[in-house]
Structure 1
Amino acid sequence: MELGRFKSFSFSILALWMLSTSTLLTPVQCIRGHNHAGGAPASESKYMATACRAHTASISDFGGVGDGVTSNTKAFSDAVSSLSQYASDGGGMLFVPAGRWLTGPFNLTSHFTLFLDQDAVILASQDLSEWPVIDPLPSYGRGRDGPGGRYSSLLSGSNLTDVIITGNNGTVDGQGAFWWQKFHSKKLKFTRGYLVELMFSDQILISNLTFLNSPAWNIHPVYSSNILVSGITILAPVRSPNTDGINPDSCSHVRIEDCYIVSGDDCVAIKSGWDEYGIAFGMPSEHIVIRRLTCISPYSATIALGSEMSGGIRDVRAEDITALNTESAVRIKTAPGRGAYVKDIFVRGMNLNTMKWVFLMTGSYKSHPDGHYDPNAMPVVDQINYRDVVATNVSMAGRLQGISNASFTGICFSNVTVHMAVKAKKLPWLCTDIAGVSNSVSPAACAALADQGGTATPCPFPEDRLPMDDVELKECSYPRSTR
């Protein structure tokens, strides 16, 4: 069952977001469906999830105060700890009612649902003493912002099974301006935390919520599997630093669908570790489905692969993608020293308006964790497929730059129409160190993408179903008394 079905936004409304380049954003909710077939009893409210819970408590039961001022870090921790006792007895759900619930980071538990009601807002604390410092990820070797450790993420957990973060259009607000200012002025000793980070976990659902003004990345599952992210709205000013939307990192069997993202960085970025640390850790990101994604990010990509991809990325399937005023549609980012591979990437059905580049591949991305990487560890980029793409107001159709003596191969474009902007680049395509084919591409692709003629077979897109395609939601209920 589809969980997120949102309204189409007019270009005039979307343009208003482009003006929000330095101030905090306020939520614009997606319209998401809930199955009320047959009507709910007066004592219960209904929602959709991958698992239902037998036990429900409200944050208010643990002394929580939703005034936007009182710290609720202890209340949230106590609530999760209490509900964890039901892991083997039908699981527990923590209900967050309407209000503004200020908190520092807290950990989730297994067989657990965090549910934010309509008009419920979890506010990230701006008291640094409430943010524990944790070790860097083993596949990165250091914090993403700089050497050393990193602040914990707001909602986090490790080695969990069956975790649900959902609601009735509630909001998680990272109050990111506090962090962005400190990041720009180099006043942070450690890497910024994210809004959600679940590590070494299995069976994750994140749905029907708005994530607002994250300190950095919004949703970061890492070393995890069987992940469904559905019906999510992510909003941040388009100049906010590194506010990526959804970043599966060394994850397998992921489904991302019906999401609307405005951000200061990539809307979706698939990663798998950084240089020698990612190579040693050796956990790929694979079997990932992305569909019905809408993105606005004037300085970054709709979907990025890398640049941290040293565990490998393979079998990514993206379709029905919409992007407006976004720097590029699909970007592959890698460099000597990354090793591993990006392969078996399939994209079809993209509707794009106002792009700097539609297709962007970079084999010389400069960012490295330290000077100990092996410059001879060359990444393999192969079997990259794009079909059924329409783009308007584009500066350059494609900038595809592989690596000398390690060319990107097996690249395929078919049924691609790019309408160039009035002030477009003189040459619509730039290609170096790549090899592949094209057919029915306008303007005609570069010579390295040999034209197969208009009757050639389209670029492939897998027709088999992945296990995550068959994951369905069930109707659950919670007592109205928790409201």
Structure 2
Amino acid sequence: MDSSRKSHAIVAVVLLGLLCLTVVDCRPCHQQLQDALDFPALNCRKHSAVLTDFGGVGDGKTSNTKVFNDAIAKLSEKAKDGGAQLIVPPGKWLTGSFNLTSHFTLFIHRDAVILASQDESEWPVLPPLPSYGEGSAGRYGSLIYGANLTDVVITGNNGTINGQGEPWWKKFKDGKMEYTRPCLIEIVFSDQIQLSNLTLINSPSWNVHPTYSRNIIIQDITILAPFDSENTDGINPDSCTNTLIQDSFIVSSDDCVAVKSGIDQYGIRFNMPTQHLLIRRLTCISPRSAGIALGSEMSGGIKDYVFWITGDYGSHPNPGWDPKALPEIKGINYRDMVAENVTYSARLDGIENDPFTAICISNVTISLTEKPKEVQWNCTDVAGVTSRVTPPACSALPASEKEIDCPFPEDKLPIEEVKLKTCSLAN
């Protein structure tokens, strides 16, 4: 495999009272901070502002949708003059969907909670993503949204974004959704994105959805969702290049990380694979689904190494989907993994007449629960080889006659070489 197309994928299972504002210069205001607060970011900003100076009300009841949008629009004027950061101070900040801007940092204080509005009129309806099909009705814009941006940071000192998703889950279960439910954070067609040091809870649907984007760092994120919620995937890189996901903790009713690239003929036609993806030091709790999943939507291709696979999710955007629009899936490696208290070791399902091939699994130890399933490996339409795997794999993945280590690229991704700067709220 050419080194330019390799990626790494490793999984280890294992500020301050209310602030005053001067958009042009906030140094005197920041002298009033109770804590000296520094944080890592792709870039530091010359200008700083606080949500309250735009009329924000943090009582958990007053809508701040217009406040967020007005504040960010005003700060966008500083993009060419060193950029700007918007501080969300302590409080409960109710809001509908709002849009980010370039050369911008959204900082959420540890005692701040951004509360997603349950008023659907505060969520704009957007057209379908081009790799997901023109025939679908559309989708609600995410709570925090950005398109065609450069250099965006969403961070904090463990501030919280609460999607208040329960009404959305119920409406979905009852079959009453006219449009696709919103994500918490969705960034599309963008470059240089950082999400870090945040807690995300109760998303209406997927939590973090970077799409058609590149040069992405997602780290030190906690994502929590009840086990009975619906499709609350943690992080879903979708047709993205050069992405780093690390040092995060996810509890989900669905996949903790799902690698995507569009669906059916729409994904194939759009032809933007997810590639150059590194996942490491990820802790995942997902009783019903995968730690790291390939798909379901992955018709545009996924290059290099990935984990856990399924070829028949049974979901399509509209009745006109093309059953012949099939992906090529090969060269999937699992290596150096330990799993404990496992009921069911593996389910690897390819696609009939389109099998997943060249799978390699080595040095994997799975310790079973007291009452494991009788059949530990369930494999269909897959082919490959294993070495030093306990319990032994299915017949489609026979043990190699010689001990082997599945190949793993030794070169680093460009995103690994990025050094974050130390920034301050008192710039």
Give TM-score scaled by structure 1 length: 0.79
Structure 1 residue matching 2:398: 3-state secondary structure: strand
Structure 1 residue matching 2:171: 3-state secondary structure: helix
Aligned to 1:297: 286
CA contact (8 A) 2:309 2:348 kept: no
Q: How many residues in Structure 1 have an aligned counterpart in Structure 2?
A: 399
Residues 141 and 108 (structure 1 numbering): CA distance in 2 closer, same or farther, change over 3 Å? same
Aligned to 2:89: 97
Aligned to 1:173: 162
Q: Deviations over 1:258-314 (max 9, x none)?
A: 111111111111100010111111111110111111111111111111111011011
Structure 2 residue matching 1:469: 3-state secondary structure: helix
**Shift of residue 112, structure 1, vs aligned partner:** 0.3
CA contact (8 A) 1:289 1:316 kept: no
**Shift of residue 441, structure 1, vs aligned partner:** 1.5
Aligned to 2:137: 148
**Shift of residue 184, structure 1, vs aligned partner:** 1.9
- Counterparts in 2 of 1:31-430, with a 5 A limit? 45-141=37-133, 147-316=136-305, 330-334=307-311, 364-430=312-378
**Shift of residue 239, structure 1, vs aligned partner:** 1.1
Aligned to 1:431: 379
Structure 1 residue matching 2:308: 3-state secondary structure: strand
Give distance in 2, aligned partners of 1:448 and 1:76.
54
CA contact (8 A) 1:47 1:476 kept: yes
Give distance in 1, aligned partners of 2:88 and 2:379.
52
CA contact (8 A) 2:153 2:193 kept: yes
**Shift of residue 429, structure 1, vs aligned partner:** 2.3
Q: Deviations over 1:98-143 (max 9, x none)?
A: 0011111110000000001120111111111111111111111159
Structure 2 residue matching 1:476: 3-state secondary structure: strand
How much identity, in percent, do the aligned residues show?
A: 59
Give distance in 2, aligned partners of 1:79 and 1:393.
49
Q: Deviations over 1:307-350 (max 9, x none)?
A: 11011011246xxxxxxxxxxxx42123xxxxxxxxxxxxxxxx
Aligned to 2:426: 479
Gaps of 5+ in 2: 1-13, 15-29
Residues 131 and 411 (structure 1 numbering): CA distance in 2 closer, same or farther, change over 3 Å? same
Residues 184 and 426 (structure 1 numbering): CA distance in 2 closer, same or farther, change over 3 Å? closer
CA contact (8 A) 2:76 2:101 kept: yes
**Shift of residue 386, structure 1, vs aligned partner:** 1.1
Give distance in 2, aligned partners of 1:417 and 1:86.
53
Residues 102 and 396 (structure 1 numbering): CA distance in 2 closer, same or farther, change over 3 Å? closer
Opposite residue 254 of structure 1, the aligned amino acid is T
Give distance in 1, aligned partners of 2:333 and 2:371.
28
Pick aligned residue for 1:458 from 387, 396, 405:
405
**Shift of residue 182, structure 1, vs aligned partner:** 1.9
Residues 42 and 58 (structure 1 numbering): CA distance in 2 closer, same or farther, change over 3 Å? closer
Q: Deviations over 1:383-407 (max 9, x none)?
A: 1111222223323322333334332
Which has the larger displacement, 367-376 or 78-87? Answer: 367-376
Give distance in 1, aligned partners of 2:189 and 2:78.
21
**Shift of residue 367, structure 1, vs aligned partner:** 1.5
Gaps of 5+ in 1: 1-10, 12-39, 318-329, 335-363
Give distance in 1, aligned partners of 2:225 and 2:247.
18
Give distance in 2, aligned partners of 1:193 and 1:430.
34
**Shift of residue 368, structure 1, vs aligned partner:** 1.7
Structure with bigger RCO (C-alpha 8 Å, 6+ apart): 2
Q: Deviations over 1:62-88 (max 9, x none)?
A: 011111111111111111011001111
CA contact (8 A) 1:276 1:372 kept: no
CA contact (8 A) 2:264 2:326 kept: no
CA contact (8 A) 2:198 2:221 kept: yes
Give TM-score scaled by structure 2 length: 0.89
Opposite residue 308 of structure 2, the aligned amino acid is R
Opposite residue 417 of structure 2, the aligned amino acid is D
